[in-house]
Chains A and B, each alone.
Chain A
Amino acid sequence: MQKPAVKKLPFLGFGLGLRTSHYETVLAELPSNIDWFEILSENYLVAGGKPLYYLDAIREHYPMIMHGVSMSIGSSDPLNWNYLEQLKQLADRVQPAWFSDHLCWTGLDGKNIHDLLPLPYTEETIEHVAGRVRQVQDFMERPMLIENVSSYLTYKDSAMSEWEFIAGIAERANCYILLDINNIYVSAFNHEFDPYEYLNFIPVERVGQFHLAGHTNCGDYIIDSHDHPVIDPVWELYADAVRRFGPVSIMIERDDHIPPLNELLPELDRARNIAQPILKEMAA
């Protein structure tokens, strides 16, 4: 039997991560070269006050995507339904085109390490995670994207590559992939694989969004710190990704040493200047 076609997610254009230090500037200037914002869901799982005020005010002017860090989709703990209930309420408020979280686990026995911990790449893990993604997607009633994380260790148990692992889960869970181009670069360096081999394996129709960010090179390894501008080799990888995946919504993440908004906009323009000629050529 032929598999049903995967519906490509809409192209929202070029976005930024919404950060508290930019709230006022965004509302005062409503920059037209930001097409959409990605919010960090956990920052808005609160009762009231400034976070929700600014969320609503900015949502009136921009499309938004919800991006979480605490779903712990790969944990062997049960899913946290209290968290998911709140996430769904937030989604009802924000009406995002989709929501995403990381392909990782964040804690066990109810604990939360507040980090994106890698998983062993095995059939057992694929089965485990895919089942949970299906449950979450059904509950949220919206498409879910899983993001590849930067990692600093590999389990001896791993029986396949990271790209086979994430593609396998997306296929089995019938979900989408948020491809973090910087994370591919970071993990390729840390685990000594070819980032282009990664890109070229990922099924085109499954990729719903890209992330770009900067990192910290510690010499022997790279840390995904989101505190610097995107580096040239990551821009090159991004250009390749656009050639392969076509029009995919893209955003730039900055979580530390956050500069004023007007210093981030040229970076967003750079993404636009790379992608648009390629997309135009592809459309011709």
Chain B
Amino acid sequence: MKRISSLQSQFQSAILTLGDEFDDKIVATERVGVKQRIGIYADAYRLRLIECLQDSYGALYTLLGDDEFDRLCRSYIDTHTPYHYSVRWYGDRLAEFLGATAPYREHPYLAELAEFEWKLMEAFDERDVSPVTVEDMATIPPDQWPHLTFGLHPSLRHLELAWNVAAMRSAADEDRDPPAPERSDQPVPWIIWRQQLRQFYRSLADDESWMLDQTQSGDNFAALCEGLCKWKGESEVAIHAAGLLKQWITDGLITRIGT
């Protein structure tokens, strides 16, 4: 075991750090030398991860173009070794890297776009749970409504975006040129989710965003209505909350009603 373990350690380190400690452990032939043989593995490692990042971050790739995206990937790869058995999870820290590393951190929409695209990936293969239907809701007696709580679909991601990164992603998905980066006056709440096999994203008004957070925290319908009074008059608040709930049900966002 010791011998295999030391050879594997040297081989891995030759791939990751391009050092030469493994060179004298392998056979050169007249046609292909030692450096070239190790180089095949070292190059393949980087190319495979770059390809994976291209797949996960399609809009970021379009925005930066081949050369700049390649440079970004290589500096990310130099500082982030994959650990997960599935290459699909490689790149989970790219947004953080973009936000913290020059020159990318001077363009904060890059980190935000990466965060948005990663959350889309998360929603893509999250757990399947059957959503509640409008008919299910209709069977609940009115006197139970104040006590109702709601479970949300596991694919739901709720985030705030200061830049027009969702438009950048839509453009990339539709093979259009990305719009110029544009910052809004205030960060805008967005949700990403999957309904059956399709992914969706849309922005939310502040009251809907608040209600979604509180729903996630387990507030019942009465508490949600009370909180919404910050935005709506007392007489219309229950109708407004019920309207938002109905929209969420239509969107497949509600998976459980607790009484």
Residues of chain A at the chain B interface (Cβ within 8 Å): 42-43, 45-53, 70, 74-76, 80, 83, 105, 107-115, 117, 119-120, 122, 124-125, 128, 152-157, 190-192, 220-221, 223
Contacts and interface: CB of A to CB of B under 8 A. Distances in A.
B81 A42 contact: no
B25 A114 contact: no
Nearest to A87: B85
B12 A112 contact: no
Interface stretch (B36-44, B176-184, B248-256): B36-44
A47 B125 CA distance: 6
B4 A154 contact: no
B27 A112 contact: no
Contact of B12 (A111, A120, A152, A190): A111
A220 B25 contact: no
Contact of A47 (B38, B44, B86, B126): B126
B7 A120 contact: yes
A152 B125 contact: no
A196 to B, nearest CB: 20
13 contacts: A48-B125, A49-B124, A80-B85, A105-B8, A108-B9, A108-B12, A111-B16, A114-B48, A114-B82, A120-B7, A152-B41, A156-B24, A192-B31
Contact of B45 (A45, A115, A152): A115
* Most chain B CB within a 10 A radius of its CB, from A115, A153, A191: A153
B5 interface: yes
A101 to B, nearest CB: 11
A46 B125 contact: yes
Contacts of A110: 83
Contacts of A76: 1, 4-5, 8
B17 interface: no
Nearest to A49: B125
Contacts, number: 133
Given A47-B125, A52-B128, A115 B41 contact: yes
B12 A153 contact: no
Interface of B: 1, 3-5, 7-9, 11-12, 15-16, 24-27, 29, 31-32, 34, 36-38, 40-41, 44-45, 48-49, 52, 81-88, 90, 124-128, 154-155, 194, 197
**Interface residues of A, dominant DSSP:** loop
What are the nearest 7 A-B pairs in CB distance? Answer: A48-B128, A76-B5, A46-B125, A70-B85, A49-B125, A153-B37, A47-B127
B126 A117 contact: no
B31 to A, nearest CB: 5
A221 B127 contact: no
A157 B197 contact: no
